Amino acid sequence: MKNGTQDSTDRAVPLPFRRILVTGGHGFLGHHIVPRLRAACSGEILTPGRADYDLLEPGAADRLLRDTTPDCVVHLAAKSGGILDNRLRPADYFYENLTINTAVLHAAWRAGVKKLLTLMGGCSYPAAAVSPIGEDQMWQGYPQAESAGYSVAKKMLLVQSAAYRAQHGFNSLVLIPGNVYGEWDNFNLTQAHVIPALIRRFSEAREAAAPEVVCFGSGQPTRDFVYAGDIARLIPWFLARYDSSAPVNLSTGTRIRIRELAETIRGLTGYAGRIEWDAAQPDGQMDKIFDVTRLRGLGLACPTSLADGLRRTIAWFDDVRVTGDVRL
């Protein structure tokens, strides 16, 4: 029992599929999700990469489905990045995500796949959404302008899933993780989201004995972060037991101010210098917390505390910088 909610993912959820195809299986979330699928499914778990099938090429998605003949698809392949890269390349984020998502879902239906699960970002909610943000607010406005190319493209997954279910009876579902962090994240400072960016900045400043670290924005926005390992633990449950195109938020529903987050990461990385805030950089939405009532109503939760998840991520980052197995 966690926070009054029985976490159903603590019990094994066997998956009945013969072959699960995971697109993007070598990416950030793929590193967390694929081991969970292997543990839950006695069938094959296939994880071809972009070198095998470039999903931006016409016909590549159909060829992938023909070659692999899965009865289940977990679609994780995406172009993803932080607010700075979204501002620099909004057209790339829009085109690549819309093209890949549309092609993969259509090809999966054509190939007779029994079930498809995919993820979209919480940034697709309207910029003016009121926290805690429930799934019913998705269509009540336009997303934050800085990442709208990515956000609107991902939002189309909800339309496509519902449309193919209504016309073809295709069983697909779209889950909405909160602000995800964890091992195997992208720590490139142009492309990174806030947690990997802060971990890298403070770790490098500690090593260089720098007197200060400059953080972007005012530090006043609040966010709701969720550990990637918790997302991964939920995926087998949804594959086994959820049959709806109605989206579900996957997060903790816990609020933290970015200024407090920076102070926490500074302490966990062992950096002793000061923090300066560059208010000329964008804050993004000022308050974005996810309503997890629907998730809890299914008997599920994302239980890892932010402090525990940050410790794991920082320890991993310190280790893999030595071997070079990290995106910088």
Report d(CA 298, CA 244) in Å as an integer. 13
Longest CA pairwise span in the chain (Å): 61
User: 303 preceded by cis ω (within 30°)?
Assistant: no
Active-site residue (options: 150, 164, 227, 271): 150
Report d(CA 202, CA 213) in Å as an integer. 7
Q: What are the φ/ψ torsions at residue 242 (nearest 5 degrees)?
A: -110, 125
| CA within 13 Å, CB half, 77 | 26
Concatenated DSSP letters for 225-254?
Answer: EEEHHHHHHHHHHHHHH---SS-EEES---
User: 300: which 2 tokens?
Assistant: 């599920």
**Residue 226 forms beta bridges with which residues?**
180
142 is catalytic: no
Among all residues, which ones are annotated catalytic? Answer: 150
